Chains A and B, each alone.
Chain A
Amino acid sequence: MTHSSLYWEDVSEGEALPVLVKEVTATTIIAGAIATRDFYPLHHDFRFAQKAGLKDIIMNNITTGGYLGRYLTDWSGPEGDIKRMKFHLGMPCHPGDTFTVTGRVTRKYEQAGQHLVDIQYEVAVNMGDHCTGTATMVLPVRPAE
């Protein structure tokens, strides 16, 4: 199986990343909670979530971070490295939500010998913005001919 990666030269400021859409089920949330080792009951116990003032269980933030990381490297390909991620969490993600990630390149630059891009992204769920944030990635440069 071959895997292609983006070169830094091929990326433009303002360019949109492909949209990631995931239909979220209770299984998505619980599989994420287990894979991230997060047994806080809010992520698997419906009654506990209701007592905490929520309508249902919610995706844990580590799973949100996992999907964001995947969104970034799905775009860059495996030769891209995530250097930094920062996000603000808003509306919770419940079973039955459509989790939609959109983003764009806001800056392309060189720093300390690395070829970098900054990306701004947001995740929409049924109640509104689940998450908004930024990331910095290191991309490979096109080899000399």
Chain B
Amino acid sequence: MNPRSAFLLAALAIALIALPAFANNYFLSVATLFLFFAYTGQAWNIMMGFAGQLSLGHALYLGVGGYSAAALYFHYGIGPWAGVWVAIIISIALSAFLGALAFRYGIAGVYFTLLTIAFAEFARIGFDHLSWTGGSAGLFLKVAQRDRIDLVNLRGPPAMYYYAILALSALALGLSAWLLRRRPGYYWQAIRENEEAARALGINTVRWKILAVVISAAMTAVAGVFLAFYYNNLFPEQIFNINRSVEIILGPIVGGMGTLFGPIIGAALMSLLTDGATEGVAALGWDIPGVKQLIYGVILFVVIVFLPDGIWPAIARKLKLKR
């Protein structure tokens, strides 16, 4: 990392750490959502950006993670610090199962993507009928005391959630950077660029692809736990919805897939644009559902057609930063 990028990264970190001191609750909630998508985008980026496996079913891990920790808390009072490990273990088992099935049977490309959607949809309808977690009527956690910080049960004021997701995003960035410069990162990129050639070089492609899926899934499950305790409610129709999977991938695609900072820049841009647009639309007095998603669609379309590599590589070239 050159001094220039180190300086910019440090400035960004200080700005993000200092932000709650200056922001009101609304702005803080926007920033929290931005970091949430920066985090999940990085998780998805490991699987697609690094290893080239397109998942359109990441809502599955978000939902399974959120539901397992929330149900443990709801039924047995087991806090999120224990619950998150259960969420991680369940999502690892689930993603390893999906990955092993798909890659062993040679399901690749379009078929693999459709399989990830099928698993997420299957879970959505399944949780709709699972009475232990409240079925389609949803699961509600006791609403937090907003003035007291209870770190053990992750109950507290908005700033606490903000710092929690900021810490997760920073960890994800560190993990991504570390992975990218170690053996897994090189193997994944070899597989992404040419799987046949990678196999010819003696890389066990099935095993390394499963590893990417598992890491990505486990990280996403942690985000699900965060989401459950942040919003205090879970509905299968929302958390397993394919729109969640799409929102997760927008950040990295807009920002630049396979890069370290692309998912973060992309998530920031999407948050700014969609919230700005929603606010603007509200200010004009058009209270129409669907405007926000329409903007998502238009941005995605424009980026795919005109900037297929995302915006971060272009910015990095301009600022003469290493990508």
Tell me if chain B binds chain A.
Answer: no
* A residues neighboring B (CB under 8 Å): none
* B residues neighboring A (CB under 8 Å): none
